[in-house]
């Protein structure tokens, strides 16, 4: 199995460059060949080829000892603006109190991959960013050694100061900065790194960079951006996705107070690009919204209007009554094994479409002139955003400048750049700088939704309660062998590899609703179904559900279905899962206490985005059917180091509450191709009174650190519904819980 630690984060083509600053400081920049940056990105978006090496990080040291580090990735609330500078500062060996952090604009020629998504920032930057700090430290030490005419090996550093203990001499980094410019930078691939036992910054709790400004309500988010002569825009799209404008009372809207422009946008055919609609631009937000209320649009017919949630469910039922369209994995002989099973377990699971619902709705500020487009954006994928805007406007990518602004949540929604291309198009047509603000209703009804899905499971147990046969028929969305975005499933989904006779079947139906990645894409939904049914198998076997999972994980089989090298490399490590399950049993006191009637504990685990999490949830269900989560225990294995425990714990707690929120009441349904829900009154988020204590633990293992934002979410939903079964005897196979009668049985 290939682990993250097997893959180098930087190669010998990487190097460091130093430049003198006015006043005696030093600017350090790390460079890498373009190919290496693309390999490190690890996502579908690739950086364009370039003839020159590409700059990837800045460290600026001034004579006063202040170290300014540029944070290159988009900050969407995950703490990356704090974490990446911590890596550089650790190896540079500076006092964190003397570190200042600046947010980079989007510039792939300087910073290589700038992306927020897939929990990729930690594994992508763990070595490269540390090596930049280590190389800078080595240059400062070399400068001191030359000044004092002593071997560099005799020198030590501590909190931004170089010491020669033998002669009792010392010098601050600031005083050495100008001299360090002339030092030949070391090879980044071979520069020595700190022994983790000597870390003073990595592994310590650091407050979020900019936290005071956030708490004081200072303008710093995308929604706060203002530029000179800025107008406000709203963009009205069809409730049926991608339907065009047949007619609209544009002239009447233009005549309304405060309205400066109004026009129809024809749109493109790309569901993630420029949609058809009507743009209204005005002097302030309130006037624009008043005009919007008077807008009368007749929308053209569109085939998606034939689709609905009821029709999706009916089609899934048809699939389950028929042979599947295709089989993506077939180990052993399921049909023979299920006939010989001592006990057969069956269950159908379903989950809905859901919206991302970030607290800051989508927005973008744009200024377009004859030869330039300037954007202020909260995009998670500015590379893709720039390309989309350039293509849509018919200009070159280097004519698009993107300023990255802190986002009020992303959760995957800002991976998609439709607000950017809308703002750019409207600004170009209006010939004024424009801030496009989506309303809450726009944000919720024109999302790239997490797709729903349907599963028909069959499990077979032998006389000893061992799972010997397993089948899943997955009814989802797509055409032919192509899945709709985030509606897919892979052949490595657990319990694949651990059941000798296993079939994974798939049938797909067409979909006109746009879908996309939501926090822990695919995993956030599949975990509920698979881990819920595994729990059913454990109960049918008369086994402890947590131990049943461990026993199954110990029974790995040789698959008969061939896997691609990428699938093999990304397979779950069973021993790491067993480790977190054992720890979850320990910290939660699983099985050690007798709970009162109506209270139960459930467990689940999941591997996603390189991370491993097991979670135990305790719930109490009242006789009226009200579900209260009493406590959550979350145990993660994300490698050898937790860079910032503050953010790590917050990410896990936020992920658990996000999952609970989905389980309680989040659902987007469709009628005649339109989303029925529109705001938090009918799409509820978790309330403060519903938020339980969430105890977080990490099991450290000898693997390079990986991300946390995604993998902590998937186990909480199945652990919660498994706890409900333990409390009530009622098996929940459909979420949200608002659709389920939860009175005790």
pLDDT score for 58: 84
**Consecutive H or E run containing 716:** helix 716-728
Of 260-274, 345-359, 605-619, 674-688, minimum mean pLDDT range = 260-274
pTM over 0.85? The answer is yes
CA distance 156 to 153: 8
CA distance 490 to 510: 19
pLDDT score for 25: 87
Q: In DSSP terms, which residues pair with 55 in a beta bridge?
A: 31
Residues 207-247: pLDDT tens digits?
999 999 999 999 999 999 999 999 999 999 999 999 999 99
CA distance 114 to 383: 7
CA distance 581 to 585: 6
Residues 6+ apart with CB under 8 A from 18: 26, 27, 28, 29, 139, 180, 181, 183, 185
CA distance 56 to 132: 9
pLDDT score for 7: 39
Structure-block tokens of residue 576: 């790491």
Is residue 93 within 8 A of residue 158, CB to CB? The reply is: yes
The DSSP output letter for 182 is: T
**CB burial of residue 75 (10 Å; 0-12, 13-18, 19+):** buried
CA distance 417 to 420: 5
Is residue 502 within 8 A of residue 469, CB to CB? The reply is: yes
The closest alpha carbon to 678, from 519, 449, 446, 451, belongs to 446
State the residue for tokens 């995308």: 222
**Consecutive H or E run containing 422:** helix 418-430
CA distance 42 to 123: 10
Q: Which domains does the chain have, with CATH numbers?
A: 4-202 (3.30.365.10), 223-302+362-437 (3.30.365.10), 323-354+449-739 (3.30.365.10)
Residues 6+ apart with CB under 8 A from 195: none
The closest alpha carbon to 715, from 663, 667, 665, 668, belongs to 663
The DSSP output letter for 692 is: P
> pLDDT: is 16 or 19 the higher one?
19
Backbone angles phi, psi at 47, to 5 degrees: -75, 150
Residues 157-170: pLDDT tens digits?
999 999 999 999 99
Residues 503-525: pLDDT tens digits?
999 999 999 999 999 999 999 99
Mean pLDDT of 27-36: 61
Three state DSSP letters for 15-68: EEEEEECCCCCEEEEEEECHHHHHHHHCCCCCCCCCCCCEEEEEEEECCCCCEE
């Amino acid at each position: 199995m290939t682990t993250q630690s097997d893959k180098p984060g930087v190669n010998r083509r990487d190097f460091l460059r130093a430049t003198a600053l006015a006043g005696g400081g030093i600017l350090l920049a790390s460079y890498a060949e373009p190919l290496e940056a693309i390999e490190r990105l690890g996502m579908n978006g690739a950086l364009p080829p370039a003839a020159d090496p590409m700059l990837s990080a800045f460290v600026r040291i001034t004579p006063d000892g202040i170290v300014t580090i540029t944070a290159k990735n988009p900050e969407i609330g995950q703490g990356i603006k704090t974490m990446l500078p911590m890596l550089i500062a650790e190896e540079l060996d500076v006092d964190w109190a003397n570190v200042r952090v600046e947010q980079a604009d989007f510039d792939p020629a300087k910073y290589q991959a700038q992306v927020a998504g897939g929990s990729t920032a930690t594994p992508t930057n763990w070595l490269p960013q540390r090596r930049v700090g280590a190389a800078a430290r080595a240059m400062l030490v070399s400068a001191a050694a030359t000044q004092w005419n002593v071997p560099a090996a005799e020198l030590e550093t501590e909190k931004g100061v170089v010491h020669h203990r033998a002669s009792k001499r010392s010098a601050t980094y600031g005083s050495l900065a100008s001299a360090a410019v002339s030092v030949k930078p070391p090879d980044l691939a071979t520069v020595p790194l700190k022994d983790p036992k000597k870390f003073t910054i990595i592994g310590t709790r650091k407050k979020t960079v900019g936290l005071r400004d956030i708490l004081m309500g200072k303008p710093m988010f995308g929604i706060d951006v203002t530029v000179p002569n800025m107008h406000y825009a709203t963009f009205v799209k069809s409730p049926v996705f991608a339907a065009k404008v047949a007619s609209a009372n544009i002239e009447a809207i233009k005549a309304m107070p405060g309205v400066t422009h109004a026009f129809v946008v024809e749109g493109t055919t790309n569901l993630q690009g420029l949609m058809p609609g009507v743009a209204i631009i005005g002097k302030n937000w309130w006037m624009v919204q008043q005009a919007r209320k008077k807008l009368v649009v007749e929308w053209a017919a569109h085939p998606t209007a034939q689709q609905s949630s009821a029709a999706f469910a009916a089609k899934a039922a048809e699939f389950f009554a028929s042979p599947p369209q295709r089989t993506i994995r077939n180990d052993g002989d399921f049909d023979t094994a299920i006939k010989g099973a001592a006990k057969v377990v069956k269950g159908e699971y379903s989950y809905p479409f859901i919206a991302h619902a970030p607290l800051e709705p989508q927005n973008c500020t744009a200024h377009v002139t004859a030869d330039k487009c300037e954007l202020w954006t909260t995009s998670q994928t500015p590379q893709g955003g720039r390309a989309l805007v350039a293509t849509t406007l018919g200009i070159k990518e280097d004519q698009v400048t993107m300023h990255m602004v802190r986002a009020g949540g992303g959760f995957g929604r800002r991976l998609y750049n439709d607000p950017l291309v809308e703002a750019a198009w409207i600004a170009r047509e209006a010939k004024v700088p424009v801030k496009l603000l989506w309303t809450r209703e726009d944000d919720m009804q024109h999302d790239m939704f997490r797709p729903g899905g349907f599963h028909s499971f069959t499990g077979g147990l032998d006389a000893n309660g061992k799972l010997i046969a397993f089948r899943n028929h997955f009814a989802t969305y797509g055409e032919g062998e192509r899945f709709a975005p985030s509606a897919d499933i892979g052949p490595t989904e657990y319990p694949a590899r651990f059941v000798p006779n296993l079939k994974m079947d798939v049938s797909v139906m067409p979909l006109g609703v746009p879908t996309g990645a939501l926090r822990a894409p695919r995993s956030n939904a599949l975990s509920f179904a698979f881990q819920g049914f595994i729990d059913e198998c454990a109960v049918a076997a008369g086994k402890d559900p947590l131990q049943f999972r461990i026993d199954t994980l110990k029974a790995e089989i040789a698959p008969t279905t061939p896997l691609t090298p990428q699938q093999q490399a990304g397979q779950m490590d069973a021993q790491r899962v067993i480790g977190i399950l054992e720890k979850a049993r320990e910290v939660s006191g699983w099985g050690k206490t007798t709970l009162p009637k109506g209270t139960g504990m459930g467990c689940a685990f999941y591997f996603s985005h390189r991370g491993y999490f097991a979670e135990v949830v305790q719930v109490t269900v009242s006789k009226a059917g009200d579900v209260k989560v009493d406590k959550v225990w979350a145990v993660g294995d994300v490698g050898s180091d937790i860079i910032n425990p503050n953010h790590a714990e917050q990410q896990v707690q936020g992920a658990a509450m996000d999952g609970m929120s989905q389980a309680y009441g989040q659902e987007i349904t469709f009628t005649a191709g339109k989303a029925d829900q529109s705001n938090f009154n009918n799409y509820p988020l978790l309330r403060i009174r519903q938020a339980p204590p969430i105890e977080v633990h990490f099991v450290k293992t000898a693997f390079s650190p990986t991300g946390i934002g995604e993998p902590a979410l998937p186990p909480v939903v199945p652990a919660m519904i498994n706890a409900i079964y333990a409390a009530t005897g009622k098996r929940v196979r459909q979420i949200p819980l608002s659709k389920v009668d939860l009175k005790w049985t």
